[in-house]
């Protein structure tokens, strides 16, 4: 669904090998949900952003990392990924994972693929405003744990004749469509953040924020962001709501 720009770019180098390991772990989690997963990669202004869609949550998961100069044709320099996009390509998540050298931070770009429909619907790159009322990381993890417990309790209470996928999806949709307090953020977005490793233990002073622009909301943590379209804007694909 996306066109390739910056065709001269053939390889990138991350500024920190720790970020290479984190990006590899993120791609591994996406592949756990879908072995044929595709990701959209955008780079420019000294940073790279990788967009993926864990299929169980109807959200976009975004992992960013800093780049350093690796010679002619590289994407590097001051600024952030919010600057001009010099590279925009959709590739296989599995092939990108195999290309990452966690010891050096280098990775070659896999061949472009025709992406699924969601790759053509990314959140805006600017204009985000902070939304108040978001609990801290512990509160968010507790909310997910309570929702998973409720789902399992209600599932176990179903009569055998009604314990089927349709009824489980109905219960899951009810639970995961709830919002986090008065923020308007669907609980499924928090569940997605935990599932892809964005809510793992972090320093007490680590910034966790909720941002909004138009119909989009973004849960931002030090490890990555979860973006979701809310209200009447429609989703970004089919929704499966059974907890994992």
End-to-end CA distance of the chain: 29
- Six token digits for residue 100: 């990452």
Which pLDDT value is given to residue 9?
A: 61
For 96-153, the pLDDT digits (tens) are 999 999 999 999 999 999 989 999 999 998 899 999 999 999 999 999 999 999 999 9
Q: What confidence tens digit (pLDDT) does each residue in 34-72 have?
A: 999 999 999 988 899 999 999 888 999 999 999 986 443
How would you label 221-240 residue by residue, b for 16+ Cβ within 10 Å and e otherwise? bebbbbbbbbeeeeebeebe
Q: What pLDDT is attached to residue 68?
A: 81
Instruction: In whole angstroms, give the CA distance from residue 57 to residue 193.
Output: 10
CATH 2.40.128 fits 11-120, yes or no: no
Give the side-chain half-sphere CA count within 13 A for 123: 30
List the domain boundaries for the chain: 11-120, 129-233
CA distance 13 to 232: 40
Give me the chain's average pLDDT, please.
Answer: 85
With a CB cutoff of 8 Å and minimum separation 6, the contacts of 177 are 186, 187, 188
Q: Whole-angstrom Cα distance, residue 20 to residue 32?
A: 18
């Amino acid at each position: 669904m996306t066109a390739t720009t910056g065709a001269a770019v053939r390889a990138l180098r991350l500024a920190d090998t720790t970020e290479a390991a984190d990006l590899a772990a993120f791609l591994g989690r996406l592949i756990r949900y879908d072995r044929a997963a595709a990701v959209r990669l955008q780079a420019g202004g000294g940073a790279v952003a990788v967009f993926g869609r864990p299929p169980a949550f109807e959200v976009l998961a975004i992992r960013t990392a800093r780049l350093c100069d690796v010679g002619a044709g590289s994407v590097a320099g001051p600024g952030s990924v919010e600057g001009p996009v010099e590279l925009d390509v959709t590739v296989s998540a599995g092939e990108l994972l195999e290309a990452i050298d966690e010891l050096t931070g280098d990775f070659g770009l896999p061949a472009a693929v025709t992406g699924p429909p969601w790759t053509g619907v990314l959140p805006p790159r600017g204009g985000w405003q902070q939304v108040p009322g978001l609990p801290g990381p512990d509160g968010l993890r507790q909310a997910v744990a309570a929702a998973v417990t409720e789902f399992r309790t209600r599932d176990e209470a179903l009569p055998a004749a009604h314990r089927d996928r349709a009824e489980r999806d109905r219960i899951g949709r009810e639970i995961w469509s709830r919002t986090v307090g008065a923020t308007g953020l669907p609980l499924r977005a928090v569940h997605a953040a935990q599932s892809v490793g964005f809510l793992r233990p972090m320093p007490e002073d680590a910034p966790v924020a909720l941002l909004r622009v138009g119909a989009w909301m973004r849960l931002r943590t030090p490890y990555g962001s979860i973006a979701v379209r809310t209200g009447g804007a429609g989703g970004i694909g089919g929704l499966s709501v059974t907890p994992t």
